[in-house]
Structure 1
Amino acid sequence: MSKVTSSQVAERAGVSQSAVSRVFTPGASASKRTVEKVKKAAEELGYRPNSLARAMVSGKSRIIGLVVAYLENHFYPEALEKLSNALQEQGYHVLIFMASNNAENINSVVEEILDYQVDGIITASVAMSSELTKRCRKAGIPIVLFNRSQDGPDLSSVASNNVEGGRKVAEFLIAGGHRKIGYIAGWEGASTQRDRETGFCAGLAAHGLSLFARADGDFKSEKAAEAARNMCQGEDRPDAIFVCNDHMAFAVMDVLRFELGLSVPGDVSVVGYDDVPIAAWPAYSLTTVRQPANRMVSETVELLLAEIDATGQGPQKIEIDGPLIVRGSARVPEGWST
Structure 2
Amino acid sequence: MFNLYRWGRSVLQKNITAHDIANHLGISQSTVSRVFTPGASVSEKTRRRVLEAAELLGYRPNMLARSLITKKTNMIGLVMGDIDNPFYPEVLSKLSGELKKRQYNVLLLNAENDDVPSESLIQFLGYNIEGLVVTDVLLSSSIVSQFAELDIPIVLFNRYTTNAHCHTVCCDNMDGGRRIGEYLLRTGHRRLAFISGDPNTSTSQDREKGFRDALLNEGLHFMTESGGYTYEMAYEAANRLFLRADRPDAIFCANDIMAIGAIDAAKKLGVRVPEDVSIIGFDNIKPAAWAGYDLTTWTQPVDRMIEATIDLLLEKIEEPDRRSQADYQWIKGHLVERNTVMTRNKND
TM-score by length of 1: 0.91
Q: 1:59-98 alignment to 2 at 5 Å?
A: 59-98=71-110
Task: Tell me which amino acid in the other structure corresponds to 2:105.
Answer: H
Return the alpha-carbon distance in structure 2 between the equivalents of residues 198 and 156 of structure 1. 22
How far does the alpha carbon of each residue in 1:142-200 deviate from its partner, in whole angstroms, 9 at most, with x for none? 11111112236721111111001000111111112211111100001110001000000
Return the alpha-carbon distance in structure 1 between the equivalents of residues 141 and 333 of structure 2. 29
2:173 to 156, 162, 172: 162
Does residue 117 of the first structure (1) align with residue 97 of the second (2)? no
How far does the alpha carbon of each residue in 1:259-290 deviate from its partner, in whole angstroms, 9 at most, with x for none? 21001111111111011121122211111111
Match of 1:141 in 2: 152
SS at the partner of 2:200? coil
Does residue 220 of the first structure (1) align with residue 220 of the second (2)? no
Alignment CA distance shift 1:13-1:286 (3 Å): same
Match of 1:176 in 2: 187
Alignment CA distance shift 1:61-1:239 (3 Å): same
Return the alpha-carbon distance in structure 2 between the equivalents of residues 249 and 130 of structure 1. 26
The more displaced of 292-301 and 51-60 is 51-60
Using the TM superposition, give the Cα deviation of residue 305 of structure 1 relative to its aligned residue in structure 2, in angstroms: 0.9
Does residue 53 of the first structure (1) align with residue 65 of the second (2)? yes
Using the TM superposition, give the Cα deviation of residue 10 of structure 1 relative to its aligned residue in structure 2, in angstroms: 1.5
Alignment CA distance shift 1:305-1:215 (3 Å): same
Match of 2:35 in 1: 23
Using the TM superposition, give the Cα deviation of residue 87 of structure 1 relative to its aligned residue in structure 2, in angstroms: 0.4
Match of 2:331 in 1: 320
How far does the alpha carbon of each residue in 1:307-331 deviate from its partner, in whole angstroms, 9 at most, with x for none? 1111767321111111111111011
2:276 to 248, 267, 272: 267
Match of 2:256 in 1: 246
- Count of equivalent residues: 331
Does residue 198 of the first structure (1) align with residue 209 of the second (2)? yes
Using the TM superposition, give the Cα deviation of residue 133 of structure 1 relative to its aligned residue in structure 2, in angstroms: 4.6
Alignment CA distance shift 1:107-1:160 (3 Å): farther
Return the alpha-carbon distance in structure 1 between the equivalents of residues 327 and 145 of structure 2. 17
Which structure 1 residue ranges, 5 or more long, are not aligned?
Answer: none
Return the alpha-carbon distance in structure 2 between the equivalents of residues 332 and 280 of structure 1. 20
Whether the 8 Å CA contact 1:63–1:92 is kept in 2: the answer is yes
Return the alpha-carbon distance in structure 2 between the equivalents of residues 61 and 202 of structure 1. 46
Task: Tell me which amino acid in the other structure corresponds to 2:276.
Answer: D
How far does the alpha carbon of each residue in 1:21-67 deviate from its partner, in whole angstroms, 9 at most, with x for none? 11110101123444344334434432121111111221211111111
Return the alpha-carbon distance in structure 2 between the equivalents of residues 131 and 224 of structure 1. 26
Return the alpha-carbon distance in structure 2 between the equivalents of residues 128 and 107 of structure 1. 21
Alignment CA distance shift 1:180-1:134 (3 Å): closer
Task: Determine what percentage of the aligned residue pairs are the same residue.
Answer: 40
TM-score by length of 2: 0.89
Return the alpha-carbon distance in structure 2 between the equivalents of residues 22 and 162 of structure 1. 44
Return the alpha-carbon distance in structure 1 between the equivalents of residues 28 and 104 of structure 2. 26
Match of 2:10 in 1: none
Which structure 2 residue ranges, 5 or more long, are not aligned?
Answer: 1-12
Match of 1:308 in 2: 317
Match of 1:282 in 2: 291
Return the alpha-carbon distance in structure 2 between the equivalents of residues 306 and 28 of structure 1. 19
Match of 2:8 in 1: none
Using the TM superposition, give the Cα deviation of residue 80 of structure 1 relative to its aligned residue in structure 2, in angstroms: 1.2
Whether the 8 Å CA contact 1:149–1:317 is kept in 2: the answer is no
How far does the alpha carbon of each residue in 1:182-233 deviate from its partner, in whole angstroms, 9 at most, with x for none? 110000111000100000001100110011x111111011111111111112
How far does the alpha carbon of each residue in 1:234-282 deviate from its partner, in whole angstroms, 9 at most, with x for none? 332111111000011001000012x210011111111110111211222
SS at the partner of 1:20? helix
Using the TM superposition, give the Cα deviation of residue 135 of structure 1 relative to its aligned residue in structure 2, in angstroms: 6.0
Return the alpha-carbon distance in structure 2 between the equivalents of residues 87 and 124 of structure 1. 15
Whether the 8 Å CA contact 1:99–1:126 is kept in 2: the answer is no
SS at the partner of 1:274? coil
| Cα-Cα RMSD | 2.1
Does residue 255 of the first structure (1) align with residue 285 of the second (2)? no
